[in-house]
Chains A and B, each alone.
Chain A
């Protein structure tokens, strides 16, 4: 059991983190105090063309000098600083959160449609699998993940997330079940533009992991959600599928449902299932994924985890509980429950 909530303002009006903190704290029952986190898009407008790389360092000596070295080899560090944090009585400081604003040298590689992103992905995989004492947990442009082991309110106060303003926010309250709670295991999981919060478990993790690893990703965070971020990066960024198609590939319609569709739709859905068999996710899950273009929420095909949607003009909310939406937006106009496996998409209007 975990609690998730996401919000997008479709006019790109920015919201500070105070209301999502309240919403996530309302779902404290869904967590165990061993992990909570937030991601916000639009928070670094001063660095519009830099990758914001957030790192957990165990210390600022060996791990940091090695990360500095590999970053400087591959690009230019425009600015770097410790992420401001504020001591909380109930939160043990296990790592030092640090951020780099970074521009990769795109002329260093060939054969890539998007060299900057491929370099960043390479750096994330390299640092996380080869430099002990360092973990890159956020690597997109104009977005940032803030997470730790603790209760939602404590983690929010530790980073003072009300000081950040974004047009998309996702938040997650963790109740670890299969792997232990640690800072890197808290959600959201992020790679480049993709951030994922997830309630449930991916029982097909083994198959999905082999599939993403055969495509150059490395799973290093001892938890299943990581693979969802890589699947979205692979299908969305590298294969160019829109959100609706990615969801259809990850949580496809049952064969007997496909059988009764019009021929053209049948053909599309069959092709997706056959092409992306190893990307199909089994097990109970409710997931919200964000990119700089919008958010998408979906559940497993037989709805083993809750998901509720709320709308109020430009705002779209997706959450584990209706009350969490109402605490964020007491004037929310419509509330509904999406059908299992059906994507709920929120995109910017301009």
Chain B
């Protein structure tokens, strides 16, 4: 099914998507997307949605299952509180990508803005992934409670050069290509060596990410990464209360 979203408001667009999915459609192509928000919000299905253009904020919010492929950039917070499924963005994305994400995958080929992966979380088998091919701005993984963030830094000297990486992190891990200056670590974040065991564990994920963003994975399958984890499970335990 193909939809021409030229000049369309997001409400009728999302209604069309829902109706199509309800009637059994499993492949949707939306052309001329420009700023329409909330695409595929709360959608529970295994539908594949190809978005040609620049979708508006909160793409795939609360989504559980679908695959959204964006041939273009994305605005803020794609994958907001997403539960399951995959979002692949072939361009760049705005602030708060994968905000509060609880499951599934968000793959961005280009750069992302500030606060990528803010408050991602995990539970039991649900372990969300945010992977970025380019670089990110400050406060990556802020208040992160679970899941994995990977940044490859393609086209940049260092993977991340902005401050506050893992500020307030108390669960999950942040994997950055190359070394990272200590002064860029946020409060509660700790830098550890990326081991052969980590590589073995994460190789399938790095390979899958590279294949999805149409990049050769081979140059990225080594241990030249920095791993950032929580210094403690309660980084702000003494901040507002005294025990």
Residues of A within 8 A of B (CB): 26-27, 29, 256-257, 260, 302-303, 306, 308, 321-324, 326-327, 335, 337, 339-340
Contact = CB atoms under 8 A, between A and B. Distances in A.
Say whether chain B's binding surface is mostly helix, strand, loop, or mixed: loop
User: Which secondary structure characterizes the binding site on chain A?
Assistant: mixed
Contacts of B114: 302-303, 340
Contact of B137 (A26, A321, A339): A339
Contacts of B225: none
Contacts of B83: none
Nearest to B96: A306
A61 to B, nearest CB: 44
Given A306-B76, A322-B54, A327 B34 contact: yes
12 contacts: A302-B138, A302-B164, A303-B115, A303-B138, A321-B56, A322-B54, A323-B34, A323-B56, A326-B35, A327-B34, A337-B94, A340-B137
A269 to B, nearest CB: 16
Contacts of B37: 29
A256 B138 contact: no
A339 B76 CA distance: 15
A256 B57 CA distance: 33
Contact of A323 (B54, B92, B95, B137): B54
B137 A303 contact: yes
A322 B139 contact: no
A39 to B, nearest CB: 23
Interface string B105-143: 000000101110000000000000000000001110000
B75 A323 contact: yes
Contacts of B73: 322, 335
A323 B113 CA distance: 16
A324 B35 contact: yes
A308 B73 CA distance: 12
Interface in B30-59: 34-35, 37, 54, 56-57
Contacts of B139: 302-303
Nearest to A321: B75
Given A308-B94, A321-B56, A322-B73, A340 B34 contact: no
A125 to B, nearest CB: 38
A308 B95 CA distance: 10
Contacts of A335: 73, 92
Contacts of B239: none
A323 B35 contact: yes
User: B37, B57, B114, B138: which has the most chain A beta carbons within 10 Å?
Assistant: B114
A321 B114 CA distance: 14
